[in-house]
Amino acid sequence: MCGIVGYIGDKRAADFLLEGLTKLEYRGYDSAGIAVNCGENIFVEKSVGRLDSLKDKLKYRMPGGVIGIGHTRWATHGRPSDINAHPHTDCNKNFVVVHNGIIENYMPLKEELISRGHKFISETDTEVVPHLLEEVYRGDFVEAVREVLNKLEGSYSLVFMSKENPDTLICAKQDNPLVIGLGKGENFIASDIPAIINYTRQTYILNDGEIAIVKKDSVKIINRRGEPVDKKIFHVSWNAEAAEKGGYEHFMLKEINEQPKAVRDTMSKRISKDGTKILLDELNWDKDFLAGIDKIYIVACGTAYHAGLVGKFYIEKLARKLVEVDLASEYRYRNPIVDEKTLVIVISQSGETSDTLAALKESKRLGAKTLAITNVVGSSIAREAEQVIHTWAGPEIAVASTKAYTTQLILVFMLALYMAQINGTVSEQRARELIGLLKKIPAQISETLSDVEPIKTFARQYGFNEDVFYIGRSLDYCVALEGALKLKEISYIHAEAYASGELKHGTLALIVEGVPVIALATQKSVYEKTLSNIKEVKARDAVVIGIAAEGDTELEKYLDHVIFIPDTDELLIPLLTVVPLQLLAYYAAITRGCDVDKPRNLAKSVTVE
């Protein structure tokens, strides 16, 4: 997620802008920039890389103006570079904008503006905004901004600055956070409270559709129709550290709760307006390309590997292509059977995992076609692969991967359906049905997040056990593996995931009275078999906690506790099943007093072998 700051008052704006951006560094970014209205002109300076690079550029040339905006960029459209860094301006640097989010209709807007003579210099979606403002501005800054906003589709928090209006900053909020800090003779703008908490605790938290007209001694809030909005002041009681986590106790809990938005963002722009097609313009594959592929490998580590296991199901079920999934650390040394008819898909949140990068390079050496699914634009893996599609989860700070996993599932599902539509292995009607259910997933994740009490209770009751088993069949087994990893890596409980049908081949010997077993039973196609496995462990007096789809009235007859998740197609339900397992791991770690965000022995990005 990008970081935004703005200042208007009597002091040197650049001082607050740089300090505010420094407070937002924790969010992760790849470039930064500021713009200050100096009266005669608007000063703009940007730099790829860390904030220090920007500060170095400003060392002997800090602008003196008292109104400015700043930005730290997390790239989604356009690689990290000085040019792509924000702020962005119109042709004549009369208007400057910083943006957080995704403007979904930027391409047609950009093409239209270019046809009318506008000159673009960056690869970003954001740059269309100042040029649109230049196009519609007739002297009324607020009206012009409103007219621009009516042309935009997608998610955005935007701050506008105009050379001709040196006493005003205008903010607009849609889906991405934006806060106004209320000072004395000065006002502050930020995407996140940590940037302003040292200056004021009196804030307006903007809601979707609201526009703030910020002057140094007044803040007026209107809606998109221009009508005044009566806004309550929100007093920030958090300390600075808590503010970085948006009020959540840990980054992990914040990121678990960010999943509805992360999933929605990752889907955005990738579904046709009529809801019938998956659009992966980054790939542009056709029947001939797929006909040239006789085998697909999915290669990854950890959570990304678990997403790959789900991806296998999706691609084989929908696109009817053979898929092998492998751990990167194994694949890279096994002299895999790979040639020019092999497609190797690597999945990596960080895009820097050493084993996955090495597996990718080995695949290219052997002649394979390569595709990367990663969350970091411009990462080593993104640059090494022939093709790349990005999850748009925003920075994931906690070591335990949560929103990266669910957005990886979304992308592998969309990739499978995209391939199926090219190959004609899924009917139009089935594709429309699946896409309709896919679009409901963000709201269903929110629903699943809305009732954490039963999960907290289990975590308190069983958080001190030293062994926990997760069992499931089919896609439930894939998610069980992810649930077990979550519990292991942050609560240090020895958790093991097992294919339910495999229990009788050994592991059942460990299932004795009181052993907690998390039984996933959402896969309708194997439900009866799953139920009989659950009865097997129940018969040995294990404590069984079921995860079932709403409407399942059978499981409760046999289990002590059942956590229900919203029902959907069995292919999509892993996106919901994983949420209670993430929360169970989180609250178990809290129960045991573990360092949730930075568990022992682990790093967020394993850049060594």
Among 157, 176, 191, 348, binds ligand AGP (CB under 6 A): 348
Considering only 29-37, 398-406, 426-434, 508-516, which stretch makes contact with ligand AGP by CB under 6 A? 398-406
Nearer CB in complex with ligand AGP: 87/302: 302
Among 94, 356, 370, 448, binds ligand AGP (CB under 6 A): 356
Question: Whole-number minimum distance, CB 577 to ligand AGP, in Å?
Answer: 16
CA distance 90 to 134: 6
304 binds ligand AGP, rule: CB under 6 A: yes
Query: What angle (nearest 5°) sits at the alpha carbon of residue 509, between those of residues 507 and 513?
Result: 110
CA distance 285 to 276: 17
Dihedral Cα 294, 299, 304, 307, nearest 10 deg? 30
Nearer CB in complex with ligand AGP: 161/398: 398
The yes-or-no answer on residue 2 being catalytic is yes
> Are β-strands 211-215 and 218-222 bridged in parallel, bridged antiparallel, or unpaired?
antiparallel
605 binds ligand AGP, rule: CB under 6 A: yes
Nearer CB in complex with ligand AGP: 219/385: 385
Q: Which residues contact 316 (CB under 8 A, 6 or more apart)?
A: 322, 323
Nearer CB in complex with ligand AGP: 134/489: 489
Q: Could you tell me the end-to-end alpha-carbon distance of the chain, in angstroms, rounded to an integer?
A: 29
Considering only 77-85, 300-308, 431-439, 557-565, which stretch makes contact with ligand AGP by CB under 6 A? 300-308
CA distance 525 to 474: 9
Question: Whole-number minimum distance, CB 516 to ligand AGP, in Å?
Answer: 21
**Structural contact between residues 152 and 103, judged by C-beta atoms closer than 8 angstroms:** yes
Question: Whole-number minimum distance, CB 328 to ligand AGP, in Å?
Answer: 8
Among 349, 391, 474, 530, binds ligand AGP (CB under 6 A): 349
Q: Which residues contact 47 (CB under 8 A, 6 or more apart)?
A: 31, 32, 33, 53, 54, 56, 57, 82, 85
266 binds ligand AGP, rule: CB under 6 A: no
401 binds ligand AGP, rule: CB under 6 A: yes
Distance of CA 244 to the CA centre of its chain: 17
353 binds ligand AGP, rule: CB under 6 A: yes
Nearer CB in complex with ligand AGP: 278/397: 397
Nearer CB in complex with ligand AGP: 94/353: 353
Here's the x/- map for ligand AGP, 95-124, by CB under 6 A: it reads as ------------------------------
**Structural contact between residues 560 and 453, judged by C-beta atoms closer than 8 angstroms:** no
301 binds ligand AGP, rule: CB under 6 A: yes
400 binds ligand AGP, rule: CB under 6 A: yes
Question: Whole-number minimum distance, CB 302 to ligand AGP, in Å?
Answer: 2
Nearer CB in complex with ligand AGP: 83/606: 606
256 binds ligand AGP, rule: CB under 6 A: no
303 binds ligand AGP, rule: CB under 6 A: yes
CA distance 62 to 65: 9
Among 399, 468, 565, 573, binds ligand AGP (CB under 6 A): 399
Residues numbered 568-597 forming contacts with ligand AGP, rule: CB under 6 A:
none
Question: Whole-number minimum distance, CB 602 to ligand AGP, in Å?
Answer: 6
Nearest residue to 435 (alpha-carbon basis) of 266, 277, 263: 277
Nearer CB in complex with ligand AGP: 348/533: 348
Among 350, 448, 491, 530, binds ligand AGP (CB under 6 A): 350
94 binds ligand AGP, rule: CB under 6 A: no
Nearest residue to 457 (alpha-carbon basis) of 278, 591, 573: 591
Catalytic residue among 55, 151, 231, 604: 604
Cα 309 to Cα 417, 479, 482, distances in angstroms: 16, 9, 10
What is the Cα gyration radius of the chain? Answer: 25
Dihedral Cα 309, 383, 418, 481, nearest 10 deg? 10
Q: Phi-psi category of 526—alpha, beta or left, where left has phi over 0 and alpha has psi -120 to 50?
A: alpha
Q: Which residue has the tokens 């920007």?
A: 54
Nearer CB in complex with ligand AGP: 35/487: 487
Considering only 35-43, 149-157, 344-352, 437-445, which stretch makes contact with ligand AGP by CB under 6 A? 344-352
491 binds ligand AGP, rule: CB under 6 A: no
- DSSP state, 87? P
The yes-or-no answer on residue 604 being catalytic is yes
Q: Phi-psi category of 335—alpha, beta or left, where left has phi over 0 and alpha has psi -120 to 50?
A: left
Which residues are near ligand AGP by CB under 6 A?
Answer: 301-304, 348-350, 353, 356, 399-401, 489, 605-606
**Active-site positions?**
2, 604
